[in-house]
Amino acid sequence: MSETVFDIVILGGGSGGYAAALRGAQLGMKVALIEADKVGGTCLHKGCIPTKALLHAAEVADLTRESEQYGVNATLEGIDMVKVNAYKDQVISRLHKGLQGLVGHHNITYVAGWGTLVAPDAVEVDGTRYQGRAVVLASGSFARTLGIDIGGRVMTSDQALQMDWIPSRAIVLGGGVIGVEFASVWRSFGVDVTIVEALPHLVPNEDEALSKALERAFRKRKIAFKLGARFAGVQQDDNGVVVSLEDGSTLSADVLLVAVGRGPATKDLGYEAQGIPMDRGFVLTNERLHTGVGNIYAVGDIVPGLQLAHRGFQQGIFVAEEIAGLQPAAIVESGIPRVTYCDPEVASVGLTEAQAREKYGDDGVRVSEVNLAANGKSGILKTAGFIKLVGQKDGPIVGVHMIGARLGEQIGEAQLLVNWEAWPEDVAPLIHAHPTQNEAMGEAALALAGKPLHAHN
Ligand SMILES: Cc1cc2nc3c(=O)[nH]c(=O)nc-3n(C[C@H](O)[C@H](O)[C@H](O)COP(=O)(O)OP(=O)(O)OC[C@H]3O[C@@H](n4cnc5c(N)ncnc54)[C@H](O)[C@@H]3O)c2cc1C
């Protein structure tokens, strides 16, 4: 058994772990990054990147199908899933190589293998102990299944991303981010999709106005959904799946996608044995992401909160800087932007209107909503939707909520508005280029400041 001492030993090379490794190395620390599968983790190989590649292929299919509306004569002859997957895999492979190059460039000790926390300052891989002045837990998450047997025609996003055929009919269990993104892709590829969601709305964590607008848009796209519907069971045979609901009804399709959220990947990794505080598998930390045990930190999907790649990146950077003694400012969870990349896109940051009313009272809140119908670029793109700003009365913008094609790209300004606590009165004189969808953000700020330009009042 050999022993090597590092400044930081990181368990897991996903968004959170590799960001901690890169930042730690930049700060001159000796870093070990332990990864059992592939650096880049869920986001790069089974999450953000592959799903967004599929969504882009879906957009190309829709544009081709609707090309005549733009005076372009093209016919959609079909979707070749083998080629779609080749395109998707090429994107992943290029990014994976780039990331491997970065890890090598920074002289990070990359350990390929399964690690276990064996002491407050050590992780063991295949009998070798990697000792660190600090340890960062970043083991990520897995697809929850509600106890449903996964296999054959019943799948999670992991299997759905590998499919080389297109079903005729699909049932998606779960109307959250992953569920609506797959529903959107499949519909664009010609699939009859039905979403089953137990809560009263699709994307139920969003401002209700966004959920309702998405439901209207999905209805228009002929994506069916059952809200407030509870799953009871599924049976499959060679011909398809039959899903039964608690109300006694059944739905049949070729495949069932189980998209009911993600659980923390923390089982049997030695965390409990080392006394790490846990809650239902999640690792509990203070606001500085310290576990309270030894010099152990945790980042990413294993820490309760939004399970998003950019949260993991930021936490990884934060922890590396904290370990280096730079005393970075704590991350504000409510300032983390959220984008759902279905068509139309849903994007938001900060408080929903309901949360703002609860926090500041009905009289303490102001709201503006600008419809994309008056936005030139959105008209060119033929997309509907809106941008809604939620502000504190006589105070800053505290929430931005958007729906419409490509509006995810507007999240950059939205998160600056919220995180820099911008007042609409300060934003109103700033210039938004014409014709862009970004103008709708400027218009919403003008409206919140009480001087809407493109309005009838
Ligand atoms: C279908 C899908 C789509 C998504 N889309 C988006 C999106 O568009 N935008 C977004 O922000 N987020 C998205 N996410 C979420 C995002 O992927 C996660 O939030 C992010 O990957 C979390 O990073 P992490 O570092 O915590 O964990 P992970 O990325 O899961 O990485 C953990 C790593 O640790 C490794 N590991 C685990 N245990 C061990 C061990 N014992 N020894 C060695 N290695 C180990 C794993 O192999 C893995 O590589 C999506 C997720 C899915 C599933």
The percent of residues in the chain predicted with pLDDT above 70, rounded, is: 99
Question: What residue spans in the chain does CATH classification 3.50.50.60 cover?
Answer: 3-143+263-333, 154-260
Which residue's alpha carbon is at the smallest distance from atom 13 of ligand 1? 48
Kindly report which listed range (2-6, 358-362, 400-404) carries the lowest average pLDDT score: 2-6
pLDDT exceeds 60 at position 2: no
pLDDT in tens, 238-269: 999 999 999 999 999 999 999 999 999 999 99
pLDDT confidence band for 208 (50 / 70 / 90): very high
Which residue's alpha carbon is at the smallest distance from atom 6 of ligand 1? 48
Is 15 touching ligand 1 by the criterion CB < 6 Å? yes
Question: What residue spans in the chain does CATH classification 3.30.390.30 cover?
Answer: 344-448
CA atoms within 13 Å, Cβ hemisphere of 314: 17
Is 43 touching ligand 1 by the criterion CB < 6 Å? yes
pLDDT exceeds 80 at position 158: yes
Which residue's alpha carbon is at the smallest distance from atom 48 of ligand 1? 41
Active site residue 106: no
Out of 3.50.50.60, 3.90.105.10, 3.20.20.70, 3.40.47.10, the CATH code matching 154-260 is 3.50.50.60
pLDDT confidence band for 3 (50 / 70 / 90): low
Is 36 touching ligand 1 by the criterion CB < 6 Å? yes
**Domain made up of 3-143+263-333: CATH architecture:** 3-Layer(bba) Sandwich (3.50)
pLDDT confidence band for 348 (50 / 70 / 90): very high
Mean pLDDT value across residues 289-311: 98
Rounded Cα distance, 273 and 123, in Å: 13
**Contact (CB, 8 A) for 371 and 389:** no
Q: Of 262, 261, 232, nearest to 244 (Cα)? A: 232
Nearest ligand 1 atom, CA 269 = 41
Q: Of 164, 185, 169, 149, nearest to 255 (Cα)? A: 169
Q: What is the pLDDT of residue 1?
A: 46
pLDDT in tens, 315-341: 999 999 999 999 999 999 999 999 999
Rounded Cα distance, 158 and 347, in Å: 24
Q: What is the pLDDT of residue 454?
A: 77
Q: Exactly one of 45, 105, 434, 456 is catalytic; which is it?
A: 434
Q: What is the pLDDT of residue 174?
A: 98
pLDDT in tens, 181-201: 999 999 999 999 999 999 999
pLDDT confidence band for 457 (50 / 70 / 90): low
pLDDT confidence band for 451 (50 / 70 / 90): confident
344-448 is classed CATH 3.40.50.2300: no
**Contact (CB, 8 A) for 339 and 412:** no
Is 58 touching ligand 1 by the criterion CB < 6 Å? no
Rounded Cα distance, 417 and 449, in Å: 14
Q: How far is CA 369 from the centre of its chain?
A: 25
| H-run or E-run covering 439 | helix 439-448
Mutate to test the pocket of ligand 1, among 18, 37, 48 (most ligand atoms within 8 A of CB): 48
pLDDT exceeds 90 at position 452: no
> Beta strand pairing status for 255-258 and 154-155?
parallel
pLDDT exceeds 80 at position 81: yes
**Which is it for the CA torsion 49, 342, 158, 268, positive or negative?**
positive
pLDDT in tens, 349-385: 999 999 999 999 999 999 999 999 999 999 999 999 9
Q: How far is the CA of 296 from the centre of ligand 1 (A)?
A: 20
Is 176 touching ligand 1 by the criterion CB < 6 Å? no
pTM: 0.97
pLDDT confidence band for 453 (50 / 70 / 90): confident
Mean pLDDT of the chain, nearest integer: 97
Is 44 touching ligand 1 by the criterion CB < 6 Å? no
